[in-house]
């Protein structure tokens, strides 16, 4: 009996040895997920997935794309990384609806989406809530320096990077180049030129912009504030209450004198219609308007130039446009973070950014592409955009940005409507934003 037991034990030990030897090179994961084996020291990592890796599927959630850019980006990525498939989950076009959907899913710990396309004002909110993965280990500082720094700032919260810039946007000054030799560099110059052209009967309005009570008003107001060396936040401190900010808002209100009477109800399209019809000398708007003002239906086709936002009396060498655009973030609960980063990395690479620029008409975040012949051929006006984008600044970076924006919308609009002066408006905002941050 003892001999039979001993023989059985020896047999089990032998089998264990055999299986251990056969399975010694197998990893616990497929090489694209979080549990992928580390590259051995001294070996070279190619970046492409290999035939030995098991397929993995990641999901990208992004707003509706009316161009071929998203489809072409995914196809190019899957060609380069054949073992990583990308499922595109199309979201509504409206950013508010996207935001609400993302917040609902992420707050519930949902892991069905790996990569989110998020507005530039959302990273701080999502990071503070613990919903998105820090990217510092994936995206070193040496690589970040190749990108426009405004978008990089919008991805950063509390000293860490929580998203990667996808494509960018910034406020622009459109001007009638047939009515003036050069665009204005200061707000005072803009006002004087606009008023003169009105007095001469050459235009109905000197300037059209966005002054309704909505997010666009905050974007416009910040361009006056930032261009006069004012700020809303310095870290978590409210620094809005300054002479520079008060002066900036007074300059903003002065522009009402050369604007349509109803400009305090204007959003982007209202400004665009007036300018496209040849009724205004200047327009503040986003880059998308370029194609519209140069369309066959436009009365100012081929008569329009673009320039940086003007500067205030206490401003730097150039004005500061408000940054727009979108970033890419990785779900903290994703089961395929490494594969998700591979996709993000591709999208922000030269190849991925060229697809977005050429096929989608999106302004790239990679600085070198503003001198790329293929990109400039497809979008000639991009060449003029670099000076605007290099100086563009994000809106206040805070997890409480929606509440901060609401306070600014209400108080600045009331100021423009004459309910109180700039000093009272700034004091109100400073008090309210301080209370918001103290939550």
Q: Tell me: do 197 and 312 sit in the same domain.
A: yes
Q: To 10 degrees, what angle do helices 401-416 and 215-226 make?
A: 80
Q: Tell me: do 251 and 282 sit in the same domain.
A: yes
3-state SS, residue 351: helix
Give pLDDT, residue 24.
36
Give pLDDT, residue 14.
42
Residue 156 belongs to some domain of the structure: yes
- The candidate with the shortest Cα–Cα distance to 120, out of 353, 324, 332, is 324
- Classify strands 156-157 and 160-161 as parallel, antiparallel or unpaired: antiparallel
Give pLDDT, residue 96.
82
Give the max Cα distance, the chain.
Answer: 116
Q: Tell me: do 214 and 254 sit in the same domain.
A: yes
User: 78 and 32 in contact (C-beta within 8 Å)?
Assistant: no
**DSSP-assigned states of every residue in 98-150:** HHHHHHHHHHTT--S-SEEEEETTSHHHHHHTT-B---TTTS-HHHHTTB-HH
Written as tens digits, the pLDDT of the chain (439 aa) is 444 444 444 444 343 433 333 343 333 333 333 333 333 333 333 344 433 478 999 999 999 888 899 999 999 999 999 999 999 999 988 888 899 999 999 999 999 999 999 999 999 999 999 999 999 999 999 999 999 999 999 999 999 999 999 999 999 999 999 999 999 999 999 999 999 999 999 999 999 999 999 999 999 999 999 999 999 999 889 999 999 999 999 999 999 999 999 999 999 999 999 999 999 999 999 998 998 999 999 999 999 999 999 999 999 989 999 999 999 999 999 999 999 999 999 999 999 999 999 999 999 999 999 999 999 999 999 988 998 999 999 999 999 999 999 999 999 999 999 999 999 999 999 999 999 999 8
Apex CA 320: angle with CA 315 and CA 324, to 5°?
Answer: 160
Phi first, then psi: what are they for 307, rounded to 5°? -150, 165
Residue 101's H or E segment, with its range, is helix 95-107
414 is written with which tokens? Answer: 């009331």
Query: Which residues fall within 8 angstroms of residue 188, CB to CB, at 6 or more apart?
Result: 313
Q: Tell me: do 212 and 329 sit in the same domain.
A: no
Residue 200 belongs to some domain of the structure: yes
User: 206 and 213 in contact (C-beta within 8 Å)?
Assistant: no
Q: Tell me: do 430 and 281 sit in the same domain.
A: yes
Give pLDDT, residue 384.
87
Residue 2 belongs to some domain of the structure: no
Q: How far apart are CA 207 and CA 304, in angstroms?
A: 14
439 is written with which tokens? Answer: 């939550």
Query: Which residues fall within 8 angstroms of residue 281, CB to CB, at 6 or more apart?
Result: 175, 176, 179, 180, 193, 194, 197, 198, 202, 203, 205, 206, 207
Q: Tell me: do 99 and 127 sit in the same domain.
A: yes
State the alpha helices, DSSP H only, in 145-267. Answer: 149-154, 187-199, 215-226, 243-254
114 is written with which tokens? Answer: 């790996």
Q: Tell me: do 90 and 153 sit in the same domain.
A: yes
Number of domains making up the chain = 2
> What residues make up the domain containing 226?
172-320+400-437
Residue 185 belongs to some domain of the structure: yes
Residue 177 belongs to some domain of the structure: yes
Q: Tell me: do 96 and 193 sit in the same domain.
A: no
Q: Domain containing 60 — which CATH number?
A: 3.40.190.10
Q: Whole-model pTM above 0.75?
A: yes
345 is written with which tokens? Answer: 């990395």
Residue 86 belongs to some domain of the structure: yes
User: 339 and 114 in contact (C-beta within 8 Å)?
Assistant: yes
Q: Tell me: do 177 and 209 sit in the same domain.
A: yes
Residue-wise over 373-396: b if at least 16 C-beta within 10 A, else e?
Answer: eebeeebebbeebeebbbbbbbbb
Residue 106 belongs to some domain of the structure: yes
- Classify strands 280-285 and 205-208 as parallel, antiparallel or unpaired: parallel
Phi first, then psi: what are they for 173, rounded to 5°? -100, 115
Report which DSSP code applies to 260. -
Give pLDDT, residue 1.
47
- Classify strands 56-63 and 84-91 as parallel, antiparallel or unpaired: parallel
């Amino acid at each position: 009996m003892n001999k039979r037991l001993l023989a059985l034990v020896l047999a089990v030990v032998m089998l264990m040895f055999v299986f251990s030897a056969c399975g010694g090179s197998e990893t616990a994961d497929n090489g694209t997920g979080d549990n992928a084996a580390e590259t051995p020291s001294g070996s070279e990592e190619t970046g492409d997935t290999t035939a030995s890796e098991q397929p993995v599927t990641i999901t990208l959630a992004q707003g509706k794309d009316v161009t071929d850019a998203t489809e072409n980006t995914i196809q190019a990525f899957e060609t380069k990384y054949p073992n990583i498939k990308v499922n595109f989950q199309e979201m509504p076009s409206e950013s508010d609806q996207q935001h609400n959907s993302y917040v609902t899913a992420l707050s519930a710990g949902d892991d069905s989406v790996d990569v989110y396309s998020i507005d530039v004002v959302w990273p701080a909110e999502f990071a503070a809530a613990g919903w998105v993965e820090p990217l510092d280990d994936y995206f070193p500082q040496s690589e970040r320096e190749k990108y426009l720094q405004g978008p990089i700032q919008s991805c950063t919260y509390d000293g860490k990077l929580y998203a990667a810039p996808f494509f960018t946007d910034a406020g622009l000054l459109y001007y009638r180049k047939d009515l003036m030799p050069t665009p204005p560099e200061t707000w005072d110059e803009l006002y004087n030129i606009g008023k003169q052209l009105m007095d001469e009967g050459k235009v109905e309005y000197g300037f059209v912009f966005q002054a309704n009570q909505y997010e666009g008003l905050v974007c416009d107001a910040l361009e006056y504030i930032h261009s006069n060396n004012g700020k809303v936040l310095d870290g978590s401190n409210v620094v809005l209450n300054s002479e520079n900010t008060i002066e900036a808002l007074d300059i903003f209100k002065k522009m009402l004198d050369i604007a349509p009477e109803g400009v305090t109800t204007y959003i982007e399209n209202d400004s665009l219609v007036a300018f496209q019809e040849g009724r205004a000398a200047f327009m503040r708007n986003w880059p998308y308007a370029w194609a519209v003002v140069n369309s066959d239906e436009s009365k100012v086709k081929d008569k329009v130039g673009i320039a940086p936002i003007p500067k205030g009396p206490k401003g730097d060498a150039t004005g500061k446009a408000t940054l727009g655009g979108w970033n890419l973030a990785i779900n903290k609960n994703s089961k395929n973070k490494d594969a998700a980063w591979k996709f993000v990395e591709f999208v922000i690479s030269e190849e991925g950014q060229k697809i977005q620029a050429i096929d989608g008409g999106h302004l790239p975040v990679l600085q070198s592409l503003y001198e790329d012949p293929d990109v400039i051929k497809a979008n000639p006006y991009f060449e003029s955009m670099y000076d605007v984008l290099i100086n563009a600044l994000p809106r206040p970076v805070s997890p409480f940005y929606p509440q901060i924006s609401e306070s600014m919308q209400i108080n600045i609009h009331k100021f423009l409507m004459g309910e109180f002066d700039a000093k009272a408006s700034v004091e109100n905002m400073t008090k309210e934003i301080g209370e918001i941050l103290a939550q």
